[in-house]
Amino acid sequence: MPSPNPRLSVVITPVQYRLLTRLALLQGRSQASYVRRLLDLATPRLNAILEPLERSVAEEEAYDEDFETQLAADLEDAEGDMVDQLDMLEPLELAAELSAPPGRQEDGPDSLPPRTPHLRSVK
């Protein structure tokens, strides 16, 4: 007759198998009945640790999400600061070009690299 309860396959060590076999033969019970009894005895303790464990995992996930959100905001702020600093350099680049001696090569070793436009993200 099939059982209404779910079934579970468990891999055990050879020592555990020999122990369960000897107990089952001596007591006339199945090996599975010993495993089931051990699980029955452990169930209250497993239930006791389940709620704190779930709470801990939820808190860790919330922390990870908060950390990622804060990191994204900090990176966006840093990008804005860099754009502001580059904008301040633009007049200096122009002044350097104007004060350059005549005949200076634009692509020489002393020339500044071309500035690429930076776009701010729109919020």
Q: How far apart are the first and last CA of the chain?
A: 65
The pLDDT tens digits for 1-20 are 688 989 999 999 999 999 99
Q: What is the pLDDT of residue 105?
A: 52
- Where exactly are the structural domains of the chain? 14-96
Asked whether 83 and 118 are in contact (CB, 8 A), the reply is yes
Q: Looking at per-residue confidence, does 80 or 103 come out higher?
A: 80
What does the DSSP assignment read for 33-44?
A: HHHHHHHHHHHH
Residue 99 pLDDT exceeds 80: no
**Pairwise CA distance, residues 81 & 14, whole Å:** 65
The pLDDT tens digits for 39-62 are 999 999 998 989 888 888 888 877
- For the question of whether the overall pTM of this predicted structure is more than 0.75, the answer is no
Residue 104 pLDDT exceeds 60: no
Indicate the pLDDT class of residue 119, thresholds 50, 70 and 90: low
Q: What is the pLDDT of residue 109?
A: 55
- 3 state SS of 32: helix
